[in-house]
Structure 1
Amino acid sequence: MIIGILKEPQDESRVALLPEAVKTLLSWKVSVWVETNAGARAYASDELYKEAGAEIHSRQEILMQSDLLIGIQPITQSEISGLKSGAVLMGQMGALFNPELTGYLIKEKKTAFSMELVPRTTRAQSMDVLSSMATVTGYKAVLMAANLLPRFFPMFMTAAGSITPARVLILGAGVAGLQAIATSRRLGASVFAFDVRQAAKEEVLSLGAKFVDVEGAKEDKGAGGYAVEQSAEYLQKQKDTIHEHALKADIIITTAQIPGRKAPQLVEERTVRAMKPGSVIIDLAASSGGNCALSQPEQTVEVNGVRIVGVGNLAASMPQDASKMYGKNYLNFLKLIIKDGNLNLNFEDDIVTGTCVCHAGNPISPRIIQMQSN
């Protein structure tokens, strides 16, 4: 069996598997083909892949001959149609946000796995690419904010007087939010965090931040640790509370998302216009609608001296460690579907089923089946 590792588009610096992962794959009795310069932007040369035992091939050769194609960003529809019969495609395809691609995979009777569909369960934790990349994103978001803020993060006692610590408000205490809290605290900021899930409160407090409480949130134990949609009454109470805290904040980092749906709007236009000039908002949900009413994907907008940065793929700004983490997630997942050098797709395994967009054109993941029925 040939596993092909693809080079990502120009705006993506990560690679799905680094040379260190090749040795593991070879021990599973498979061949590994790597597209020319696939790892160059993650500082993994073709020579390093060769030393690990991989073969270097052109993109066309890999697309036409691989039994399992591994990447991060989705490949084009024309490339999908040209895959060999029975080939399996794996990547982070945004299957719930990209119904056109999902529909095309089904129409072309392909087998595909989309890694953002990995269930949020204890057993699947080591395969969860969203959590891994959120760790990178939360860290980098704070560094970006610190670079843009016209003042220090920590408190300083100087001959010129005392500098008070910056005040950071984190909206959403998932993996990215918790990493943002930890990084902000390391830099000496005073940190406040909000999350609709009461279960997040203990984690927030353990990292040294103060929890912003809004009573009356609806929770769903079946949501896999994600937030769920809330009532109009709660949402207004939430926005009013965030508004009050935002007026005192120097930095707001927003991380709240709901899988398959538009990101909840947490920071209203009135809030932005009332914030202190020089304040910074980093919106990590900009690509799925934005948590801030004025954010734009991949753009920086300035309103009354407040800079709103809509960021998307921040993980790509740290390609070495992001690729390392991504590769570990992939290897842990591949253990489930490779046996004795061949593909073994066990759809009785909830992780395999939950992650599979479609098999030979048949929708498999319950979330994809639900999306198709709507």
Structure 2
Amino acid sequence: MRLAVLKERRADEARVAATPETAKKLIAMGCQVAVESGAGLSAGYPDAAYAEAGAELAPDAGAALAGAAIVLKVRAPLAAGEGTLDELALIPRGALVIGTMGADKDAAGRYAAAGVDAAAMEMLPRITRAQSMDVLSSQANLAGYRAVVEAAGAFDRAFPMLMTAAGTIPAANVLVMGAGVAGLQAIATARRLGGRVSATDVRPAAKEEIKSLGASFVGYEDEESKAAQTSGGYAKAMSPEFLAKQAEVVAGAIAKMDIVVCTALVQGRRAPTLVTEAMVASMKPGSVIVDIASDAGGNCALTQPGEKVVTPNGVVILGYRNWPARIPAAASSLYTRNLLTFLTTFWDKDSSKPVLPAEDELVRGVMLTRGGQVVHPNFVAG
């Protein structure tokens, strides 16, 4: 069974969907692995490392995809008009394409029309059985770490308290907004760097998680906040009344902060605006806001996705896109293991191919299309 790994062509993407380590394991499973030349270079994996692992090096995407039954991707394959290459048109009909597929109704329709079986790993149910293949968690973890590192680089003072003969530099005051996977890692990293860390989240379970990491909790609590989490562990969209009261509490805290790390996302929706223009204006010159949610519009009203902004009062706002790709070697290492785990979970050794039972909860969660039809319940017409 031929398995193709393509070079990622979308803007700001430096990750790769297979490393030499996972390529070697895929070959041991019985796959003929074809890697497009240069696919791993931006993540620190040269062509020679894939060749040494036993993979075939293909000169271009077309050669890699020729006869492929499985295609591994980080981001959704480019369709006509999205870039210099129509990747989707090159993928053989009937191939299984696994990656973060930009799952929505339009995308599902494109995959069905192209005749590919699309597995959107970002739609994986967040259940215990799926933890080792959860691409959102593995990538968010690294995004939270990288956000604090970027904040430290942009901050014009020090993170820890420094006592010197010339005087004392106080520790940075850090507020992390959102205590999901990214937020918890941001808290832990900021604490390791010596910051005084606070955090806020609307989900009821978050308060204890925040405190367990040594940070203080900031937030408004009422009856609505007790039901602010879905059964899948995601934050729910909150009422305007609750958000107004939460904003009052947060505004008082933000005015005292040196660094604010924004990580709050609501599944399938635009990121909520948590830091208003007035809150930014209240911060000290030289303060830093890092907005991990920039790809979904941003948690800060002044975030410009993809840009670094300095406000008139001297606040630095980092709204870079695709935060996991800013630490590509580590992000690729974890992401590729997620994909490998998914494949091995459903791998049939006798036939040397994946068998994806439609009734399986994980398969039902990720499969957008099969046999030229949209099958995911979220996107099936009617």
User: TM-score normalized by structure 1?
Assistant: 0.94
Residue identity opposite 2:341 in structure 1: N
Instruction: State the match for 1:322 in structure 2.
Output: 331
SS in 1 for 2:309: strand
Structure 1 residue 223: deviation in Å?
A: 4.0
Instruction: State the match for 2:365 in structure 1.
Output: 354
Alignment of 1:114-193 (within 5 A): 114-193=120-199
SS in 2 for 1:197: coil
Alignment of 1:247-262 (within 5 A): 247-262=255-270
Alignment of 1:44-83 (within 5 A): 44-57=45-58, 58-77=60-79, 78-83=86-91
Instruction: State the match for 2:320 in structure 1.
Output: 311
1:231-256 CA-partner distances (Å, limit 9, x unpaired): 11101011111111000000100000
The question of 1:40 aligning with 2:41 is answered yes
Instruction: State the match for 1:7 in structure 2.
Output: 7
Structure 1 residue 218: deviation in Å?
A: 5.3
Worse-matched range after superposition: 121-130 or 83-92: 83-92
Alignment of 1:256-295 (within 5 A): 256-295=264-303
Contact between 1:218 and 1:228, CA under 8 Å: does it hold in 2?
Answer: no
Worse-matched range after superposition: 177-186 or 107-116: 107-116
- For 1:48 and 1:177, locate their aligned partners in 2 and report how far apart those are by CA, in whole Å: 34
Residue identity opposite 1:11 in structure 2: D
Q: Structure 1 residues 158 and 221 mapped into 2: Cα distance closer, same or farther (>3 Å)?
A: closer
Structure 1 residue 182: deviation in Å?
A: 0.5
Contact between 2:115 and 2:372, CA under 8 Å: does it hold in 1?
Answer: yes
1:12-66 CA-partner distances (Å, limit 9, x unpaired): 2211110111221122112111111211122212221121111111310222321
- For 1:213 and 1:239, locate their aligned partners in 2 and report how far apart those are by CA, in whole Å: 9
- For 1:287 and 1:320, locate their aligned partners in 2 and report how far apart those are by CA, in whole Å: 21
Contact between 1:285 and 1:311, CA under 8 Å: does it hold in 2?
Answer: no
Worse-matched range after superposition: 123-132 or 87-96: 87-96
Structure 1 residue 101: deviation in Å?
A: 2.6
SS in 2 for 1:226: coil
1:344-363 CA-partner distances (Å, limit 9, x unpaired): 12112111110111112333
Instruction: State the match for 1:334 in structure 2.
Output: 343
Q: Which runs of no fewer than 5 residues in structure 2 stay unpaired? A: 80-85
Worse-matched range after superposition: 21-30 or 218-227: 218-227
SS in 2 for 1:126: helix
- For 1:137 and 1:52, locate their aligned partners in 2 and report how far apart those are by CA, in whole Å: 29
Q: Structure 1 residues 242 and 222 mapped into 2: Cα distance closer, same or farther (>3 Å)?
A: closer
Instruction: State the match for 1:31 in structure 2.
Output: 32
Structure 1 residue 335: deviation in Å?
A: 1.5
Contact between 1:336 and 1:352, CA under 8 Å: does it hold in 2?
Answer: no
Residue identity opposite 1:357 in structure 2: L
User: Which residue, out of 188, 193, 198, partners 2:204?
Assistant: 198
- For 1:276 and 1:166, locate their aligned partners in 2 and report how far apart those are by CA, in whole Å: 12
Structure 1 residue 220: deviation in Å?
A: 5.5
Structure 1 residue 269: deviation in Å?
A: 1.0
Instruction: State the match for 2:83 in structure 1.
Output: none
Worse-matched range after superposition: 203-212 or 108-117: 108-117
Structure 1 residue 167: deviation in Å?
A: 0.2
Q: Which runs of no fewer than 5 residues in structure 1 stay unpaired? A: none
Contact between 2:98 and 2:339, CA under 8 Å: does it hold in 1?
Answer: no
User: TM-score normalized by structure 2?
Assistant: 0.93
Worse-matched range after superposition: 150-159 or 210-219: 210-219
Contact between 1:220 and 1:228, CA under 8 Å: does it hold in 2?
Answer: yes
The question of 1:365 aligning with 2:376 is answered yes
Contact between 2:38 and 2:46, CA under 8 Å: does it hold in 1?
Answer: yes
- For 2:372 and 2:247, locate their aligned partners in 1 and report how far apart those are by CA, in whole Å: 43
Superposed CA RMSD = 1.6
Task: Report % sequence identity.
Answer: 45
- For 2:131 and 2:41, locate their aligned partners in 1 and report how far apart those are by CA, in whole Å: 28
SS in 2 for 1:335: helix
SS in 1 for 2:295: helix
- For 1:152 and 1:136, locate their aligned partners in 2 and report how far apart those are by CA, in whole Å: 22
